[in-house]
Amino acid sequence: MSGPLRWGLIGTGGIAATFAADLELTESGRVVAVGSRTIERAEAFAERFGVPNRHGSYESLVADDEVDAVYVATPHPMHRADAELALRAGKPVLVEKPFTVNAAEARELVALARERGLFLMEAMWTRFLPHVRRIRELLAEGALGEIVTVIADHGQWFAEDGEHRLFAPALAGGALLDLGVYPVAFASMVLGPPAEIRCMVTPAFTGVDGQTSMLFGYPSGAQAVLTCTLAAKSPTRAAIVGTAARIEVEGDFYAPSSFTLTARSGEQVAFDGRQAGRGLRFEADEVARCLREGLLESPLMPLDESVAIIETMQAVLAAAQR
């Protein structure tokens, strides 16, 4: 790459708009093309963000020679097919979270990217935020001692609307895949995949999971306590508790935020990671960095971990049905 990464967007919904707006805050890339199922929606999105190339199909978008990388921003059930479309067209791909709706799809997508030697990454944008990068450094330094507990929640209020994607079974709705993926990915970053899963699920009026509480156990003896809900706005905070110190992340923990490191002695150090924008620009920066360096996946959000996170969420839903 000799200049900014030229992005093509598949989808014109809210998360695509947030991504396009955040790209304006960085020099690593710019949106040059957008694709939708109708040219009218592509045109409307392009006019809003000043995107030069507009496509009335995803096939046309991935075939655009001016596109260096594709961002898949369609509803959950379409992630695998839309990412596959871009990979088969020879494009590096960033796939909105959750990576796919089940582990089988995730493994197929990863296998295809590796077979074709193409970059692929889940758009778990939280992983690349400044405050999370600093947390990872503290964990690597052993500043917290032995990790005992991870706590995280993500709850938002949504009106009960059967047409809304989060309540629609056909669109893989529910709290866990859309909101719970953040706490699950946070725990994964700290402790890896759980060895034991216990959970409780309260269905929403359409049958999808409306509220899910999870207790994960790990070989070290550590535990993670995670919750998500579609029924109320929760504190959306997170904490990592260790034998030497603890980290408490302010809400919204999954967006640009701040945290306090409190030593066992009570001494505190604060880190302010608040930034302009929503924070998606940092994942775009990571994709551009990886492509410049010839990497096929990000060491901060490796593909095997994305598969493991989907496996964990799938196991949670399966356990809730027993």
* Residues taking part in catalysis: 97
Are 206 and 258 within 8 A, CB to CB?
A: no
Q: What is the dihedral of CA 74, 227, 186, 159, to 10 degrees?
A: 30
Task: Tell me how far apart the alpha carbons of residues 13 and 206 are, in angstroms, rounded to a whole number.
Answer: 23
Write out 244-313 in H/E/C secondary structure. Answer: CEEEEECCCCCCCCEEEEEECCCCEEEEECCCCCCCCHHHHHHHHHHHHCCCCCCCCCCHHHHHHHHHHH
Residue 218, phi then psi, degrees to nearest 5 = -125, 155
Query: Which burial class, exposed, middle or buried, applies to 192 when counting CB atoms under 10 A from its CB (0-12, 13-18, 19+)?
Result: middle
